[in-house]
């Protein structure tokens, strides 16, 4: 059953296309992530709450166009905003009591406290909670509302590991309960980790991430051609290109490599440099230096990895040892390969 259906939706200003017409359908029990910039995300949120319409097309929820919604209809959509307001002087229990009464919910307060791991905080005022705990309180409002469509804006932005784990588990439980989840984010690692399907929405349209991966046949060069350009001496540095400049980096300087919107980016100390090789070519060049293809879109320098986090049986993340504790997705098949490499069963 389709819960969310976007039909030929587009948004333009007088002199620019914010995003061209695109379609998307999300069924009951699915979690889909839309990766976009902040402007596009804000526009979609305003469309979902009825404050803005598209230049063309419409968004349908439960087979009804949002442009025809009356006030009661919006109860089928629950949105957890990045900057949702909370009542700082109320305790967590008081906030949940208010939400439970507001939505006439059948869910009990102890149940929601348990789901969000806030049992020990129920008597604590919101203003004394950590940022991550406040984000969990925000999610509690949606659990009491119990909509058909759950929308999360930057669900795990700047939260601690415990809260991210709770949110991932929550999304799994919502799916099992037949709910539909839409994640709006500018963080690709979050999108890949938390959703079943990921799409990138920008001024060129809506693209499935699967469609943007490097195809193996494409990465295979003609053998004769390779022989012709094979260097006589070994050259280990990795070239990147910015405008008319070619910048060479030692492999050991590189933290990780990713594909983004069809472009290979080489990340060094928090900065991304456009690469000149495909991801598959870089995998071959970097493998002797301890690099690992951890995901179809990512290559990571294993010497820079500090932690391997298991979120669910099929969801894993590598944490780098940089100041930002950068998170890199690790696919299920690659997890098994990594374990074999480091001698774990």
Q: 152 in helix, strand or coil?
A: strand
List, for residues 225-269, the tens digit of each pLDDT value: 445 555 555 668 898 887 677 888 889 999 999 987 778 999 988
Cβ neighbourhood burial of 235 (10 Å; 0-12, 13-18, 19+)? exposed
Measured CA to CA, the distance from residue 287 to residue 10 in angstroms comes to 43
Per-residue pLDDT of the chain (345 residues; tens, 9 = 90+): 889 999 999 999 888 899 999 999 999 999 999 999 999 999 999 999 989 888 999 999 999 999 999 999 999 999 999 988 888 999 999 999 999 999 999 999 999 999 999 999 999 999 999 999 999 999 999 999 999 999 999 999 999 999 999 999 999 999 999 999 999 999 888 888 899 888 989 888 898 875 233 344 444 444 444 455 555 556 688 988 876 778 888 899 999 999 877 789 999 888 888 898 999 999 999 999 999 999 989 999 999 999 998 888 778 899 999 888 899 999 988 988 888 887 776
C-alpha to C-alpha distances, 8 to 24, 60, 183, 199, 205, nearest whole angstrom: 9, 11, 20, 16, 11
Measured CA to CA, the distance from residue 77 to residue 63 in angstroms comes to 13
Name all contacts of 107-113 with Cβ < 8 Å and 24+ positions apart: 107/143, 107/144, 107/146, 112/140, 112/143, 112/144
Cβ neighbourhood burial of 188 (10 Å; 0-12, 13-18, 19+)? buried
Helix H or strand E segment including 259:
strand 256-260
Give the pTM: 0.77
| Helix count and strand count (H, E) for the chain | 10, 20
Measured CA to CA, the distance from residue 127 to residue 124 in angstroms comes to 8
Residue count of the chain = 345
> Do residues 219 and 281 lie in contact, with contact meaning Cβ atoms separated by under 8 Å?
yes
């Amino acid at each position: 059953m389709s819960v969310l259906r976007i039909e030929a939706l587009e948004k333009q200003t007088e002199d620019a296309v914010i995003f061209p017409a695109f379609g998307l359908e999300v069924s009951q029990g699915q979690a889909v992530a839309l990766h976009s910039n902040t402007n596009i995300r804000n526009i979609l949120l305003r469309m979902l709450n009825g404050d803005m319409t598209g230049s063309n097309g419409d968004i349908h929820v439960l087979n009804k166009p949002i442009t025809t919604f009356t006030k009661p209809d919006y109860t089928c959509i629950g949105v957890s905003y990045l900057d949702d307001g909370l009542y700082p002087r109320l305790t967590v229990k008081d906030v949940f009591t208010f939400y439970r009464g507001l939505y006439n919910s059948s869910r009990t307060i102890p149940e929601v406290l348990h789901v969000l791991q806030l049992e020990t905080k129920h008597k604590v005022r919101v203003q004394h909670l950590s940022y991550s705990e406040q984000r969990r309180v925000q999610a509690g409002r949606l659990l009491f509302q119990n909509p058909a469509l759950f929308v999360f804006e930057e669900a795990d932005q700047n939260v601690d590991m415990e809260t991210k784990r709770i949110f991932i588990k929550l999304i799994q439980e919502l799916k099992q309960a037949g709910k539909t989840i839409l994640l709006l984010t500018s963080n690709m690692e979050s999108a890949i980790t938390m959703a079943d399907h990921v799409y990138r929405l920008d001024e060129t349209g809506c693209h499935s991430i699967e469609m943007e991966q490097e195809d193996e046949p494409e990465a295979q060069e003609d053998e004769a051609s390779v022989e012709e350009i094979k260097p006589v001496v070994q050259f280990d540095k990795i070239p990147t290109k910015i405008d008319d400049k070619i910048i060479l980096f030692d492999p050991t300087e590189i933290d990780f490599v990713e594909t983004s919107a069809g472009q290979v980016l080489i990340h060094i100390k928090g900065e991304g440099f456009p690469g000149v090789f495909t991801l598959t070519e870089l995998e071959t060049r970097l493998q002797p230096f301890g690099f690992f293809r951890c995901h179809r879109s990512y290559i990571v320098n294993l010497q820079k990895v500090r932690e391997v986090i298991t979120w669910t049986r099929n969801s894993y993340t590598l944490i780098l040892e940089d100041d930002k504790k950068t998170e890199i997705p690790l696919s299920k098949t690659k997890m098994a390969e990594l374990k074999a490499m480091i001698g774990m069963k």
